[in-house]
Amino acid sequence: MSTATPPRAPHRDAPTGHSRAQARAGTGLFDARQMLSSLPDAVRKLDPRVMVKSPVMFVVWIGSLLTTVFSVTDPGDWFGWTISAWLWLTVLFANLAEAVAEGRGKAQADTLRRARTDTVARRLDADRTREERVPGTALRVGDLVVCEAGDVIPGDGDVVEGVASVDESAITGESAPVIRESGGDRSAVTGGTKGLSDRILVKITARPGETFIDRMIGLVEGAARQKTPNEVALNILLASLTIVFLLACATLPPFAHYAGTRLTMVVLVALLVCLIPTTIGALLSAIGIAGMDRLVQRNVLAMSGRAVEAAGDVSTLLLDKTGTITLGNRQAAEFLPVRGATEAEVADAAQMSSLADETPEGRSIVVLAKERYGLRERHQGEAADAEWIAFTAQTRMSGVDVDGRRIRKGAAGAVIAWVEERGGTVAKDAARIAERVSTAGGTPLLVAVEDDRGARVLGVVHLKDVVKHGMRERFEELRRMGIRTVMITGDNPLTARAIAQEAGVDDFLAEATPEDKMGLIKREQAGGKLVAMTGDGTNDAPALAQADVGVAMNTGTSAAKEAGNMVDLDSDPTKLIDIVEIGKQLLITRGALTTFSIANDVAKYFAIIPALFASVYPGLDRLNIMHLSSPHSAILSAVVFNALIIIALVPLALRGVRYKPRSADRMLRRNLAVYGLGGLVAPFAGIKLIDLLVSLVPGL
C-alpha cells in the first residue's frame, strides 16, 4: 500500500449544539399561524402553470373548474355548488401542504439574507504591496483580500496567510467562534461571517451571487429543489393510475344510460377525484421538501433532494477514524514500569517531563499522574533552577533538567538513542512492553532518567486513541439497518485493527491515501451498493465527488465543499449517521403515505359505487356496508373526506414517519398493518360520520 497519510487533526472548533434548530423546532411543527401565513402562497399556486407540475392535482384542478362551470349554468343546484367548493378546497389543501413545507425554510433564508451584506473589501494588488478598498460585489475569483479583527469577510475564499478567530453564527446559529488558518483543512471562510481577531489574507474562490450563502438561500427556499428519481417514478405511477381511473369513469355513463339512470358531469368528476390517488399526490412534494428541511434543522445543507434520497438507500458508510470514531487526541491510559522500577516512579518522571509538552498527549499524562497516583499538579514556575526541554517534532522528546537529574519522555527510538548516548542501558523488557502496547493499537512513549545511578529507561506510557462513547452501539444500530461501516485511517494496520475492534466497525482501511479511498468507493459501487462518506480536506475531494452521498465539513476546504453534495455546517463527522436515518425516514414516509392513499381509494370505491348503482343493480346493495343515506350524500361525504384527510396528514408528512432499524420484511409488514389497514378503516369511519352530518342538511 502507498505511503501512509498522517491522520488529520480533529475539529476542535465544531459547535456542540444546534441552537437554531432547537429554536425552530420550538415554534411548533404545524400550527394555525403557520398555516395562515402560508395561505397566500397556496392561493398563488392555483396558477395552472404551477398545477401542471403535479399530474394528479392538475386533474383535480380541471375537475374543480368543470364542476364550477356546470354549477354556474344551473345556479339552483346546491349539490353542484357544494361539490365544486370542496373540490377547490382539495386543491387548496394540497397547495397548502407544499406551501407550509416551503415556508419552514423561509425564516432561515431571511436570516441568511441579513448575513449577506454589501461589504467593502480591502483588496491587494498583484504584488501584495498596495491595498485598495472596493465593493464586495467587485471581487473576482483569485483576488486577495485582507481581513482583520472586526472586518466582515467580503466573499467566500480560503485563508492563504495567517490565523484568526471567526464568528460564523450567521450560518451555524452558534455564537462560539471558530479558528480559520492557512495551510490546513480549516482554511475555508464564508462571505458574511466576521473576523474577531488577528489578520488573515483570503483568496476569493466564488463570484458575487454564487457564494455559499446565495446557494443556501436558494436551497432552503426550495427554489433549486429538483425532483428525485424516486419521486419522478412515483409521479409517473400516480399519473398512470389517474389515466386508468379516468378511462374507467368515462365508461360509466354508457352503462348508466343502459341501466336507465343518468350520471351528471358533477357526479363523474367527484367520482374520479375520489378514486384517483389524490392524498399522496397532494403530499408528495411536501414530503420531499420536509426531508431536506429536517436536514437543515440539524445544520446540514443538502445540495439536492437526490442526495437526501440516496442517503436512505446507503449500504456502505466510510468514516474517518480521527475525530469521528475516536476523540482524535491520544490520551495517556496507563504507566508500565520496567523491571526494577515502580509505577509511581514512572508516573512521577512522566509528569515532570511532560510539563514542557503542550500537546494534548502531554497534558493527558500530567492529568493521569495526578488523578491515578495522587501526584499534585505541578507547574514549570515551581522550579526556578530547572531547564525545561519543550517537545518538538524534530527531537520527538520533552523533559526537564532539575536537582541533578535529567528526565526525558518521548518516542521509543528517540529516548533509546538519548539513553545510549549517555552510556546507559535499556532494560530488555522495555522493547517487549512497547511492542505489546503497539499491538494493542496504542502508542508507546518511553520515560528515561539520568542521575547518579546512570541513564536508564524507567518504563512506558501507554497512549490510547479513545473511542467516543456510544459508538459501538451506533454501529450495531447501523448493522441492524443493513449498513456496512468502514473506518478509514492513516494509522498502521495493527493500530487500525485494534481501534476497529474496539469501536465495532465492520471493516477498516489502514494507511489510506486519496487513491485508496477512491478505489474502495468504486469497488463498493461496482457491487451495486450506494456509498456515503465524510471529508474536509482537498485530498478528500475526489472521494467525496465519487461517493453517492458526500458530506463535506463546513470547516473544510472549498474544494471539499464543492465536491460533496451535502455540507455539515457544524462540522460534526458523526452526523453522517443521522443523515442516513433522515434519508430512510424520507423513503419510509413516502411509502407509508402511498400505501395509505391507495388503501383510501379502495375504501372510497366501496362507499360510492354501491350507493350510486344499488337502485339499478340490487345485488350491489350487499357491498353498501356503510348504508349511506343517498347517492348524493355518499358522493359528497367522500369528497369532503378526501379533502379533509389531506390537511389531517400534513403534520405527518412534515414530521415524517418514525424510523426504527428493522429488516425489510418486518418494515413491509408494519407498513401494511398500520398504514394499509388504517387507510382502509379511516374512510369507512370518516365517510359514515360525514354522511350522518350531511343527511341533516336539507336539499342535499
The class level of CATH for 331-464 reads alpha beta
**Residue 555: all three cell numbers together:** 470547516
Q: Is 128 annotated as a binding residue?
A: no
Tens of pLDDT, residue by residue over 600-648, are 888 887 777 777 776 677 766 777 777 777 888 888 898 999 999 998 9
Query: What is the number of residues in the chain?
Result: 700
Matching residue, cell 436551497: 219
Q: Is 540 annotated as a binding residue?
A: yes
pLDDT at res. 2: 36
How far, rounded to the nearest angstrom, does the alpha carbon of residue 131 sit from its chain's CA centroid?
A: 41
Q: Is 210 annotated as a binding residue?
A: no
Q: Is 356 annotated as a binding residue?
A: no
pLDDT at res. 64: 94
- 423 sits in the region (left: phi over 0; alpha: psi -120 to 50; else beta) called left
β-strands 454-467, 484-488: how paired?
Answer: unpaired
Residues 274, 63: Cα–Cα separation, whole Å: 11
Q: Is 409 annotated as a binding residue?
A: yes
Residues 107, 396: Cα–Cα separation, whole Å: 52
Catalytic annotation present for 320: yes
Q: Is 626 annotated as a binding residue?
A: no
| Structural domain boundaries in the chain | 32-104+220-295+581-695, 120-154+156-205, 314-325+468-569, 331-464
Q: Which residues of the chain carry a pLDDT beneath 70?
A: 1-32, 104-118, 169-176, 184-185, 213, 216-228, 323, 328-329, 374-384, 393, 573, 614-615, 619-620, 698-700
Of 320, 465, 548, 568, catalytic: 320
**Residue 656: all three cell numbers together:** 415524517
Neighbour count for residue 485 (Cβ, 10 Å):
23
Q: What are phi and psi of 258, to 5 degrees?
A: -65, -35
Render 365-418 in DSSP notation, one character per residue.
HHHHHHHHH-PPPP-GGG-TT-EEE---TTT-EEEEEETTEEEEEEEHHHHHHH
The amino acid present at 205, given as its one-letter code, is T
- From the list 578, 575, 536, 576, the residue with the least C-alpha distance to 558 is 536
Neighbour count for residue 436 (Cβ, 10 Å):
15
Q: Which CATH number fits domain 120-154+156-205: 2.60.40.10, 2.30.30.700, 2.70.150.10, 2.60.120.260?
A: 2.70.150.10
Neighbour count for residue 77 (Cβ, 10 Å):
17
Tens of pLDDT, residue by residue over 71-97, are 898 888 888 899 999 999 999 999 888
Q: Is 641 annotated as a binding residue?
A: no
Q: Is 396 annotated as a binding residue?
A: yes
Q: Which fold has domain 314-325+468-569?
A: Rossmann fold (3.40.50)
Q: Is 251 annotated as a binding residue?
A: no
